[in-house]
Amino acid sequence: MEPLALTGNYRLAAAIVFGMMLGIIFIRSEIAWRKTFIDQFSMRNSQLFKTLFFSIGIGIMLFYLLKVTGLVRFHIAPTYFWGAVLGGMICAAGAVFCGQMPSTAVSAIGAGRIYALWVFVGMMMALPFVQLISSGLLESMKKWPRPMNYAESLDKFFTGGNIFIWFAIGSIIMSLFFGFISPEKGGRNKKDDQE
Amino acid sequence: MKSIAGKWSAYMAGTALAFLFMLALYLFDTCIGMSDAYIMISEYCKDTLSKRAINEFPPFVWYTGFLLGILIGAMIASFAGGDWKFRLVPEDIKEKGVFGSLGLAIVQGIAGGFLVMLGLQISGDSFEGHWCAAMQLSTGAWIFIVAFVVWSVIFMGIYNMVSAGGGGKAPSAKGEKPAKGKGKDKD
């Protein structure tokens, strides 16, 4: 069996439906709201990190099963150690200011939060800037020394046992950990939010 | 309909997202992300500005279709759940006057958005791309996610300290208990 790999108009139609489903999940799980990000970073509500790590845990197991059957293939964008470290750091600094990610900003605009449009504008302005620095900083970053045993995928680090299962369990434990250190208030529901 | 209108727990949303990302890998044979759509729209804006004329529509391919889908999905879900609210300024920004609040919202939005996209471009993928790659045990994606989680908490602590020291006016960011009826909005 092979991935379906849709093309043409089928791909476009599937992308629109897929985007709609993602938009619905972001709104219903409250990931689209700026407050969810701000509260998460202040460790007052762990909805974001719980969702992130739980989805990774389930996703690892699903990916492993689908890969065995041949329905999906590895698709990992080439990343560099220092790029990932610095990128994560800068991205975190930006998220603290605006409380949005590219996709959640679009969801927030769809839900009437017009202020997310400024986040969208900021993101648009960053892209020409990245082109400007790409020949200098980004190229030199690729040459910075990285850990000796750095490999593209984590399964190459470990031998023995199924590393997919261990990482899936570890991610779900992380999800439970974030739920434990900043539990949601028991009575918090939709009505409370709107009061 | 109830599932579109009600709140989803992190575990329900996480499971749905995991299935959705795997479905994307099967349907598109690639990790889905927002970077390509943003790059296309940015290029379109740059061309339009340089020509000082709108001669053609923005590109409508599957990347931008995905972006449109998120917008439509968010509208459907927010209308169905009664969450749709027209807001120019986030609830936690309480500067004096409309223009003070609006000005701060604009500055925070543009600066934050700029840094988020810069970080994502330096890291080499979109946030969803890293999310999906972490499910495939990509080393770079895991480094990015760990760096993001750790630094976001550290930066928020610094931000709270600076805003508290400087007489900041963002109650939700300082850990103050919000006054009754205020600061509980989902913005």
Q: Is the pLDDT at B166 greater than 70, yes or no?
A: no
Q: Is the pLDDT at B178 greater than 50, yes or no?
A: no
Read off the pLDDT of residues A16-35 as tens digits, 9 standing for 90 and up.
999 999 999 999 999 999 99
Burial class (CB in 10 A: 0-12, 13-18, 19+), B75: buried
- Say which residues have a Cβ less than 8 Å from residue A143's Cβ, sequence separation at least 6: none
Across the interface, whether the CB atoms of B13 and A63 are under 8 A apart is answered no
**Mean pLDDT of all residues in chain A?**
87
Across the interface, whether the CB atoms of B86 and A114 are under 8 A apart is answered yes
User: Average of pLDDT values for B167-186?
Assistant: 46
Q: Which residue of B has its CA nearest to A2?
A: B26
CB A45 within 8 A of CB A184: yes
Read off the pLDDT of residues B47-76 as tens digits, 9 standing for 90 and up.
888 887 777 777 888 989 999 999 999 999
pLDDT score at A184? 61
pTM, two decimals, is 0.88
> Among A63-67, B107-111, B160-164, which stretch is predicted with the lowest mean pLDDT?
B160-164
Across the interface, whether the CB atoms of A29 and B61 are under 8 A apart is answered no
Mutation for testing the B interface, residue in A96, A101, A132, A149 having most B CBs under 10 Å: A96
Across the interface, whether the CB atoms of A106 and B74 are under 8 A apart is answered yes
User: Average of pLDDT values for A125-152?
Assistant: 81
B56: left (phi over 0), alpha (psi -120 to 50) or beta: beta
Nearest CB neighbour to B124, from listed A15, A36, A77: A77
Q: Is the pLDDT at B175 greater than 50, yes or no?
A: no
